Structure 1
Amino acid sequence: MIYVDISAAVHARAGLGRYSEKLAQALIEAQPERFGLFYNRGRDGRFPPSLPTQIPQKSVQWGYKPWRMAVLLGQMGRLGFNRLIPNAELFHATEHLLLPLRGVPTVLTIHDLIPQLFPAYHKKLNYWYLNVAMPLYCRRADAIVAVSQATRQDIVTQFGIDPAKIHVVHEAPASHFQPVSPARVTQIKQTYDLPDRYLVHLSTIEPRKNLNRLLDALKALRQTLPNLSLVLAGGKGWLYDDFFAKIETDGLQDAVKVLGWVPDEDLPAVLAGAALGVQPSLYEGFGLPILEQMASGQVVAASNAGPHPEVGGNAAAYFDPRNVEKMTAVIHRLLTDKEEYQHRQQLGLAHAQKFSWERTAQETIAIYDQLLKK
């Protein structure tokens, strides 16, 4: 039995949760007899309704922080937590938390190396934990899945891990991200009271998302496009007080709408109803929102940082995330050049179709099989 850790999905933790849920779903659909699910239920965990309940499950019920410390101390002391997943032939940790197991091969997915590359963007306790744990977990795992070539290179550079141990397997947009009808867009705009013309940013609100510079670009754009607004779809992450203070200071209260978390069924229409998608991050492990917007029929202007060009290909338009003038110029060009916009829209729809969770599952299963043959 191969156990996949879906704790992030049980606690709906943004991108990590989506990854573990969609991967588990695709793995089970491909080879249902091979997989079991492991998770820390915690105090308020909820089993994802998209996953079949008849699949073998093992769980613990610990607080998030005590569980993370138990796993780290277990790894440091070389203890075996095998009794938690009896008869496991392989274990896949889908977030940055590798269960210590004896005699069982392990796979670890690394999504990003933000704590190492941008320590100021993490809370101190989280930074300390990940700085200690991540290099150890990478060394202990038998194989590592990196979600992008950029993340793979970061792992090699930061931790000195053998590149042969690291396999790049891309994420994919969920199947509900697809073009929607104009009537649906109109309905959703009314439901959420969305402005007529808006830029949309899809992600959590945290410093590395570079939203302060996006506000500067919005302010500049509104000098020639006074009815342009910004809509943010995604929950609050951390260290976001400066961003909300800047909205007030810049007098953009009426130009910025924060939706918070948007249900999956409404998200494609929110994205499609925008004038443009903008992803200005300073750093990402992958950058899935780029594909989610393209699959919904939206054109994307994105930073040229990290894996964005790898993910967006020639369909997205790129800018230097630290240069507000260049960001503004690229956004302005896409908003005013209908021919380029329509061309990139078609490129984006075709590009997003190259990525699928079925393919992700098959490539991941190949890693499992390679380890199990050893």
Structure 2
Amino acid sequence: MKVGIDTFGCEHGRSGIGSYLSSLSQILCNTEDIQFEFFGAEIDRYTYARDSNIGFESVILPDTERAEKAWHMLALNTFAKKQKYDVLLFPASSYAMPFLFRVPSVAIVNDIVSELFATKTIAERLRIKHSLKKVNKIIVPSLCVKKDLKRLGINQEKITVVHNGINHSLFYPRAALTSESEMIKPFAIRRPYFLYASTMSSPLKRHVELIKAYEIFKKKTALPHRLVLAGNEGSCSESIKKAAANSPFASDIFITGYFPHESFPALYAGSEGCLFPSEIEGVGLPVLEAMATGIPVACSKSGALQEIAGEKAILFDSSNIEEMAMAIEKIAVDAKFRKSMIKEGVDWAKKFSWENTAQETLEVLKSVLK
């Protein structure tokens, strides 16, 4: 069986789905029975295939979203036949897939698609919905995403829940940091701090509400804790930066922009807690990574976060700023509760691994040929 893996739309490893594919590619390997091959822009050869025995086939296109989507619609099926793929895997399925599938295909949907539609044109919504209805199988990271696809009229029988994994060689409990200022490449970040790691792509990520909750926490406790917002900039960057700049605690709010994934373990380990107020997460992987690193988590009840975090995190209503502030305070001041959260979180995170994700993904790929 030869599996073609599409790298278009994965932002060269710099997005959530890019990180997903990078992690998966480190586990997948060619065997006598199964051969994998990545295809996409030449730059991705060094993103996904560099440290594996998996081949890479370059697709020469203008570096534009329009050209890449047109190629998927008009030329991908011919390309797949030429490469003799038995199965295609589309990690960034909402970015681009063909209109019709001439080769058995599996789509990975890590987004809550109905929320994603808020930023899409009518034509894009129809394209995504049509492709998801036509593709052979769909892999989702949570029951939350599966239920969302049901609301969009997608056949539930072809959807399989495969949870994302954690790289436990990177994310594990580390010795407590003692110095106030720690160099976490490429930044020097002063402790103590709370961390929110997420792209600034939607108001429903609730960055602004978190800043307001943080202000309430600071006014009430007068504690020295800072707030670090780490993640790619997006359509909401300016409003978030404005809210931080106008805060009475602006000097204690640090916005990093893009943060290298390999540096996140140290960033988590140095923090007092992971705060995750987003309401539109289909995966919630940073919550699990934080738990695995041995820090307490407070997160939204919405999206997949309650499902992924189980009962090992403080859950709050992201639209209730006072409730969010209370959760921050609980992590900061209740040492006994904090210790219990850390132990339970580490144990919970052990259930998630990329080895399991890869094996379950492989079973889905095999099933489309039966």
Task: State TM-score, norm by structure 1.
Answer: 0.88
Residue 131 of structure 2: aligned partner: 137
Partners of 1:350 and 1:220 lie apart in 2 by: 32
1:67 aligns with 2:87: no
Partners of 1:32 and 1:20 lie apart in 2 by: 22
Residue 117 of structure 1: aligned partner: 115
Alignment of 1:89-104 (within 5 A): 89-96=86-93, 97-99=96-98, 103-104=102-103
* Paired letter, 1:217: A
Structure 1 gaps of 5+ residues are none
Kept after mapping to 2: 8 A contact 1:147/1:168:
yes
Residue 14 of structure 1: aligned partner: 15
After superposition, give the CA deviation of every residue in 1:267-318 in whole Å (9 maximum; x if it has no partner). 2121121111100002111111001111111110000001101111111110
Partners of 1:277 and 1:99 lie apart in 2 by: 38
Residue 266 of structure 1: aligned partner: 263
1:332 aligns with 2:329: yes
After superposition, give the CA deviation of every residue in 1:127-162 in whole Å (9 maximum; x if it has no partner). 45541321011012100011110001101102x111
Kept after mapping to 2: 8 A contact 1:82/1:101:
no
Partners of 1:283 and 1:366 lie apart in 2 by: 28
1:172 aligns with 2:135: no
Q: Which of 140, 144, 157 does residue 146 from structure 1 map onto?
A: 140
Kept after mapping to 1: 8 A contact 2:29/2:52:
no
Structure 2 gaps of 5+ residues are none
Kept after mapping to 2: 8 A contact 1:58/1:84:
no
Partners of 1:333 and 1:182 lie apart in 2 by: 20
* Paired letter, 1:167: T
What is the alpha-carbon root mean square deviation over aligned residues? 2.5
1:163 aligns with 2:162: no
Kept after mapping to 1: 8 A contact 2:164/2:352:
yes
* Paired letter, 1:346: K
Partners of 2:243 and 2:254 lie apart in 1 by: 14
Partners of 1:332 and 1:187 lie apart in 2 by: 22
1:208 aligns with 2:204: yes
Q: 1:252–1:47: structure 2 CA closer, same or farther, 3 Å change rule?
A: same
Q: 1:47–1:208: structure 2 CA closer, same or farther, 3 Å change rule?
A: farther
* Paired letter, 2:176: P
Deviation at 1:45, TM superposition (A): 4.4
Kept after mapping to 1: 8 A contact 2:298/2:327:
yes
Deviation at 1:182, TM superposition (A): 3.1
Residue 2 of structure 1: aligned partner: 3
Kept after mapping to 2: 8 A contact 1:276/1:301:
yes
Q: 1:127–1:13: structure 2 CA closer, same or farther, 3 Å change rule?
A: farther
SS for the counterpart of 1:223 is helix
After superposition, give the CA deviation of every residue in 1:53-92 in whole Å (9 maximum; x if it has no partner). 64232221222313343146439xxx83345652111111
How many percent of aligned residue pairs carry the same amino acid?
26
Partners of 2:249 and 2:278 lie apart in 1 by: 20
Kept after mapping to 2: 8 A contact 1:10/1:39:
no
Task: State TM-score, norm by structure 2.
Answer: 0.89
Using the TM superposition, name which of 4-13 and 312-321 deviates more.
Answer: 4-13
Using the TM superposition, name which of 147-156 and 177-186 deviates more.
Answer: 177-186
The size of the alignment, in residue pairs, is: 362
Q: 1:204–1:129: structure 2 CA closer, same or farther, 3 Å change rule?
A: farther
* Paired letter, 1:144: I
Deviation at 1:371, TM superposition (A): 1.4
Deviation at 1:233, TM superposition (A): 1.9
1:225 aligns with 2:228: no
SS for the counterpart of 1:182 is coil
Alignment of 1:294-309 (within 5 A): 294-309=291-306
Q: Which of 173, 188, 211 does residue 193 from structure 1 map onto?
A: 188
Deviation at 1:319, TM superposition (A): 0.2
Partners of 2:363 and 2:307 lie apart in 1 by: 22
